[in-house]
Amino acid sequence: NAGVTQTPKFQVLKTGQSMTLQCAQDMNHEYMSWYRQDPGMGLRLIHYSVGAGITDQGEVPNGYNVSRSTTEDFPLRLLSAAPSQTSVYFCASGRGDRGPYEQYFGPGTRLTVT
């Protein structure tokens, strides 16, 4: 199993550009999530999904969109990038019927917005 994979590993965007961060898992987990990690602020939850077709907002959803058309994939879209979105983004997946009993994290995507 590859676990949780994220692409790209690094990305530089100009302000106003859009892009999609890809996340895929091959563990048949119902639950998937996106976090951003900034120095001194830990991980902040952006969006999460408890199954295909179901998504919900986390702590910091503004400026990001998600969809969950399959169990395996959970892409994160930046609609119009801003310097405040410079961060490291982690995708995670987990099994659990009411919430993830354990989350498995991907390696992260380091995004810089200039």
Partner 1 sequence: AQSVTQPDIHITVSEGASLELRCNYSYGATPYLFWYVQSPGQGLQLLLKYFSGDTLVQGIKGFEAEFKRSQSSFNLRKPSVHWSDAAEYFCAVGGSGSSASKIIFGSGTRLSIRP
- Residues lying near partner 1 in the complex (CB under 8 A) are found at 31, 33, 35, 40-45, 48, 50, 56, 58-59, 90, 92, 96, 98-103, 105-108
Burial tier of 86 (Cβ tally within 10 Å: 0-12, 13-18, 19+): middle
Q: To the nearest whole angstrom, how small is the minimum distance from the Cβ of residue 68 to partner 1?
A: 13
Going by C-beta distance under 8 Å and a sequence separation of 6 or more, which residues neighbour residue 96?
A: 30, 31, 102
Q: Is there a contact between 60 and 45 (Cβ–Cβ < 8 Å)?
A: yes
Nearer to partner 1, 87 or 103 (CB): 103
Nearer to partner 1, 31 or 74 (CB): 31
Nearer to partner 1, 66 or 106 (CB): 106
Across-strand partners of 99?
Answer: none
Cis bond before residue 8 (omega within 30° of 0)? yes
Strands in 76-78's sheet, in edge-to-edge order, are 4-7, 19-25, 76-78, 64-66
Nearer to partner 1, 17 or 43 (CB): 43
Q: To the nearest whole angstrom, how small is the minimum distance from the Cβ of residue 44 to partner 1?
A: 7
Q: To the nearest whole angstrom, how small is the minimum distance from the Cβ of residue 19 to partner 1?
A: 21
Q: To the nearest whole angstrom, how small is the minimum distance from the Cβ of residue 48 to partner 1?
A: 6
